[in-house]
Amino acid sequence: MSRAGTRIAGHGHHAPDRVVANAEIEGRLGLAAGWIESRTGIRARRYAAAGEAVSDIALPAAEMALEMAHAACGLPRAMIGLTLLATSTPDHLLPPTAPLLAYRLGLPASGAADLTGACAGFLYAYVLAEGFVRASGQAALVVAANILSRRIDPQDASTSALFADAAGAVVIAPADRAGTGLLASRLASDGSGYDLIQIPDSGSRRTGGEERAGVPRMVMRDGRAVFQRAVAMMGDACRHVLDQAGLTPDEVTHFVPHQANGRIVSAVADRLGIAPARTLSTLAEFGNSSAATLPFTLSACAGARGYGEGDVLLMAAAGAGLTGGAALVRL
């Protein structure tokens, strides 16, 4: 059954305690002081503690979102009908992590599944959950979490300078007000860029055989190509959803781009004509946690931004695969 609208009833975020400043990485790699920030806009990032898994860092972000939803509109946990976890670093390849997360959260009526969409994973999960909420009348919990610090190559500046660990979450609930929630979405992919960002020695296409020792590490083959294609994919998707909704960039209250690096964030905002004052960012202090950056940034910036009824939120992402897209939401 179709519902009048939806709302983001709650949001939450969590970053591990360990702060890794640029000086630690620059010293290890023999880079000049300031090299990382000048190229990425990142000053620090967070790393999970030994023994922590994705379900551990996802839990406090999800709890925060659920508690906010209960306080804001009395939403009980029994109304959560679906839990989606966007992650590229699950607790195990099998089973999926989302059922464990839902169990630990005390969500007795929730279906649960993982979604692997790299940096665009939260965007895909959000759009799919929106459809579920409108069709079922139940609420959905969408969480994104990654522990990428264990997949970077410590000797590779292109990955160790960027990637981090964090989690973010939103609760999407039915709303009586028409015209709220997802106004337009554009999900995109381009498999011709499949090998630009990879963890190659993993999955069913392992190159070294099952006996290969060591932890599979992330590889970014061509940073310039990643930049160009990410900016184009995000910019085109944003234009599409704005046109679809009949809105202009000037009507966007809050722009939340994937926190890939500072140059990509600025390039996409400039292409759309969205001023820095309307662009949300947590990149400098928290780095790039892949799919988690969108909900993490949305939640972490809430106090300073003071989101209000009727605000228009534009989210965009692009990442490995290539996968990407944009979503336009009215609060």
Q: Which residues are catalytic?
A: 119, 258, 288
Residues recorded for the chain: 331
CA of residue 321 relative to chain centroid, distance = 15
Tokens 């790393």 identify what position?
47
Q: How far apart are CA 282 and CA 43, in angstroms?
A: 11
CA of residue 298 relative to chain centroid, distance = 10
Rounded (10°) angle between helices 98-105 and 54-73: 50
Query: Could you tell me where the DSSP H helices lie in the chain?
Result: 22-29, 35-40, 54-73, 98-105, 121-136, 157-160, 223-245, 262-272, 283-286, 293-300, 302-305
Strand order in the sheet with 165-175: 5-14, 165-175, 139-147, 80-86, 111-115
Helix (H, G, I), strand (E, B) or coil at 3: coil
Q: How many C-beta atoms surround the C-beta of residue 285 within 10 A?
A: 16
Contact 261, 281 (CB under 8 A): no
